[in-house]
Chains A and B, each alone.
Chain A
Amino acid sequence: MKVSFPRMGYSYIALKWLVEHLGHDYIVPPEPSKKTLDLGVKHSPEFACIPFKILTGTYLEVAEEGVEVIVTSGGMGPCRAGYYWVMHQYLLDELNTGIKMVGLEPPRCDLIDFYKKLNWLRKTGGISLNAMLNVLKVTWEKLKVLDDIEMLSHQVRPYEKKRGETTRVLWKALEMIDEANTLQEIKDANNEGIKAINNIEKDTSRRPLKIGIIGEIYVVLEPAANHYIQIMLGEMGVETDRSIYLSGYTRNATIVNLEGDIYERAKPYMNEAPIGGHGVNSIAETVIYAENGYDGVIQLAPFACIPEIVAKGILPQVSKDKDIPVLTLFIDEQTGKTGVQTRLEAFVDLLEKRRETRNKIERLAI
């Protein structure tokens, strides 16, 4: 069977390995481009959010390559994303593509459904249960390592002497992870990648601003959807940390980790959780970034994303109380790279000015 999946950041490296070792042919979805978006906008409902439109476009692109099954995530709401696969099935049927959507519902919501669908993938691929468990383990390790490497690159990029070098080294490291097949190989690739990134020539005299990136998962994770905002900021000399990583649910090393009491942190501002998507998370994360000495926060969200709109309505109060500037960017098919860049530059200027005035006041106080 030819199987594909949605593309989100660098996760496709792990997912294609997963599909291949479940015994299927994989088709890697192309990086979202103008063509993807045009296709998606044409066939999606007008007010579907941008992730939906990009995915529609992506699915139609892989349909041309003869994909039979697309595996994606489900969800139990109240964010729209949980209904994506049903809606996509309707749209793909309308267009007679013959593609079957398999939406994996979160196991904690519907364990039986999750198991049934996974088992179906296993049986049609013709591998044993034990083999599948092993494959899942390796995939998970790959996802974690991919996130590790990417996280490091965002910390190093603002110090790089030669612009663009971090990104180049990052790609080399990603390739190494791509080629790894066992837990040991992944570990080695990871170590080597980390070494290579750390060896990049750095200018340690710089004092980069620190910005936290929060918001809706898809536009935060997929660089093509957010106009490579982290790379853009990195090259402006800003260190970024983003709140969401695919493997983030089990991490403690990250600044924002979901194991803790993320909803507790939002409670003074939002006495209800979850409200869908990452709405409440955005509020809590702003609080956390403020308390960790970050200079600013950027909220990324698709246009008309309901949970993020609720968050946006409350964030001004958080910003005031915690004294941290917040920039909200709503992204839709009309958003252009230059527009984003201009706004980012203005925001960074503002943060720099703010830091300067603060330092002056501190010096005077001394």
Chain B
Amino acid sequence: MAKIGIPRTLAYFNYYPFWKIFFDELGHEVVLSTPTTKGILDDGVKVAVNDACIPIKVYHGHVVELANKVDYLFCPRLVSLRKFGDFGTETFCPKFLGLPEMIRYGIENVPEIIDVRVNLGSAKKQIDKVCYEVGQILGNLPNQILQASKKASVIQKKYEELLHQEFLPEQALDKVFTNKKKAKKIDKKDKFEPELKIAVVGYPYAIYDNYINVGLLNILKNENVKILTQDMVNDSDMNKQIRTLPKSMFWYYSNRVIYGTLHFIHRGDIDGIIHVTAFACGPDSMVDRLLEIEARKRSSIPYMSVMIDEHSAEAGVRTRVEAFLDMIRYRRDKN
């Protein structure tokens, strides 16, 4: 039985349920870092290479927080998550590929890092292989591992279905990990008639982390806006958009953002698009301009990009979002 630290950022928002259940079933304890705070960011800025983007710095911060509390740090090397035969040569951003090493050489006294290579695109059933490797490091038996991964997959599927039903990850996680009675309560709380529907697109770690996005989601909720993200679009809807571009990008999250947004553009009930991007994010320098051009070409839906860095402040974002919403309302009333 070991203590395994999972930083509450980057891929956490997509795959936490899977690994939580997996480790629980194997009899280990998962230690989750606290939601991002100023202290975590500051710690990250101190240890990370100074040219890195804010999400990578935040990740370093979360690792610093976990460092003395756990036996293992779970930092898999995410290479590709598309299933076999699904799609081209898509990988993650280079910073994800080099993340285990950046952590190892950047932070003093890191616990042992579980840096298994996750490349689901290379052959069929790769996820079993990944689970097996993780289990072996922790000293579990093969059939135990297989059972745990099966159970984890079920929960993960349930989580993804909830996302596709247009729940935000926060709510979906609550629903997955609480009993049915409590889940119903969450349902009730959520029923409201939205005035506007806004697509908030961007990388999961930028849009769902309430510290990094400087409260963007809360601002929108208070304005009676229904928030839609690319994670609420199912794969087949997304894949339909692939042929409409000259060439796909190389990065998993970027492609999700692009094809998700294109889906929203054609859906017909979206009032505006907000793209959340991090300062000096490599892929986003391309993604942002591409979305801007495509949104203009294909529709008349207003598009805004919000850039965040270490110095973003809530007031600045609030002003821009309010102006954006006012503009949408003004346009709607005029027509």
Contacts and interface: CB of A to CB of B under 8 A. Distances in A.
B286 A310 contact: no
A49 B94 CA distance: 15
A103 to B, nearest CB: 8
Interface size class of A (residues with CB under 8 A): 35 or more
B87 interface: no
B285 A306 contact: no
B289 A275 contact: no
A47 B285 contact: yes
> Chain B interface secondary structure, helix, strand, loop or mixed?
mixed
B117 A272 contact: yes
B211 interface: no
B142 interface: no
A47 B280 contact: yes
Residue from A76, A304, A310, A314 whose CB has the most chain B CB atoms within 10 Å = A310
A77 B282 contact: no
Contact of A270 (B91, B98, B281, B286): B98
B105 A316 contact: yes
A307 interface: yes
A90 B250 contact: no
B101 to A, nearest CB: 5
A46 interface: yes
Contacts of B105: 269, 313-314, 316-317
Contacts of B289: 45, 87, 90-91
A309 to B, nearest CB: 5
A109 interface: yes
B71 to A, nearest CB: 21
Interface in B108-162: 115, 117
A145 to B, nearest CB: 34
Contacts of B279: 47
B197 interface: no
Contacts of A83: 247, 249-250, 286
Given A80-B282, A83-B247, A312 B49 contact: yes
Contact of A78 (B77, B92, B101, B106): B92
B98 A313 contact: yes
A279 B98 contact: yes
Interface in B220-272: 245-247, 249-251
B51 A304 contact: yes
Contacts of A311: 98
B107 to A, nearest CB: 11
Contacts of A48: 285-286
B65 interface: no
Interface in A64-121: 76-80, 82-83, 86-87, 89-91, 94, 103, 109
Interface of B: 48-49, 51-52, 77, 79, 89, 91-95, 97-98, 100-102, 105-106, 115, 117, 245-247, 249-251, 279-286, 288-290, 293
8 contacts: A45-B289, A78-B97, A103-B247, A109-B89, A272-B97, A279-B94, A310-B95, A316-B105
Given A90-B293, A304-B282, A316-B105, 17 more contacts: A45-B289, A47-B282, A77-B89, A80-B282, A80-B286, A86-B247, A89-B246, A90-B289, A90-B290, A270-B98, A272-B117, A304-B280, A310-B98, A310-B101, A313-B48, A313-B98, A314-B101
Nearest 4 interchain pairs by C-beta: A77-B250, A310-B98, A47-B285, A313-B49
